[in-house]
Structure 1
Amino acid sequence: MCGMTTPSEDPTTAFLRRAEEINQQRMKAVEPLAELVARRNHLRQQLDALEETYGRQYVEAEKAGWTEEELTAMEAEPPVRRPRGRPAKKTGRKTTQKAAASPSGPSTSTGTVPGQQTRTEATNNGANPADAGTR
């Protein structure tokens, strides 16, 4: 009966009925995809939640002394996303109030660049005063 009209059916109704039949066939073909899309979205939500927890635990392992190289060797890859919060401290750039106030810190009263000696300091350390500040 596909594509045929009944004597009582007008052409518009026949057209729409045929379109509906074709659409039903197409819908059958997309039903498995719809189920997979829903399952995939659910798994992505689960993965997002797992990644967040994984990131926190990875950071905890680093805080406990594990290095990225050690963790990677054990198949614990660095997290895709780090946990929210304070950014990680940069190694070798720890500046504390004590370090800033220490006598070996930058001298603002004499205007010297950190690591330079004044002529007086060079003389007191046994160096040639003409070489002061030329490190």
Structure 2
Amino acid sequence: MRFPRFVEAVSRRAELPTEQAATISRAVLQTLAERVTGGESADLAAQLPDELSGYLAAPPGDPPTGGSVEFLFRVAHRAGVDPAVAEVGVRAVLTTLREAVTVGEFEDMVAQLPRGFDAMVDPIPRPGDV
């Protein structure tokens, strides 16, 4: 999935202007890179096009502490939006990511996210789910 299509999907899901969806997408990917191990960040980046994978470069040092609320505040700060908009954007980005990478890779990423984060991630559909 190319970056413009990714952003269009986020924009549609979050009901945000395309430019704001792009900014939030970058902020979410950068914040994800801080929260998962370097290896997981690289695995996720390998399944995304260069325009997206560049935002998943794992920063040096220890990952920040804090739960899902801290994650939202980091995204909001990076994107220059209020936390409510950031939350809608995070949900849209994660749903779009789930469609862009393999189920196993998405599950591996989610397993490394802060406690309480599962409330922002829609359940992964299983074969046979109606």
Normalized against structure 2, the TM-score is what? 0.27
* Structure whose residues are more often helix by fraction: 2
Higher relative contact order (CA 8 A, sep 6+): 2
Normalized against structure 1, the TM-score is what? 0.26
The structure having more radius of gyration, on CA atoms, is 1
